[in-house]
Amino acid sequence: MARLYLTVILIAICNYYLQFTVSCRYAAGEIAVRDSNGFSRKLRVDLPAALPAGMVSLQEAETAANFPVSLLLPSYFPEGVSPPPVGYGISPQEPHGITAYYSSFRVVLNPEPGVSEPPAGFTGERATIRKRAVVLGQDRIDWWAYDIHFSVISDTIPMSELKLVAESMMLIGVYSGSWLGQ
- Helix (H) / strand (E) element for 162: namely helix 159-169
In tens, the pLDDT along 61-91 reads 999 998 889 889 999 999 989 888 899 999 9
CATH number of 58-181: 3.30.200
Quick one: pLDDT band at residue 50, thresholds 50, 70, 90? confident
DSSP type of residue 56: B
What percent of the chain clears pLDDT 90, i.e. is strictly above it? Answer: 41
Domain limits, the chain: 2-45, 58-181
In tens, the pLDDT along 92-130 reads 988 899 999 999 999 999 999 888 889 888 999 999 988
pTM: 0.69
> For residue 6, is pLDDT > 50?
no
- Based on C-alpha coordinates, what's the Rg of the chain? 20
Give me the pLDDT at residue 130, please. 87
Phi-psi bin for 79: left (phi > 0), alpha (psi -120 to 50), beta? Answer: beta
117 close to 149: Cβ distance less than 8 angstroms: no
Dihedrals φ, ψ of 52, to 5°?
A: -60, 155
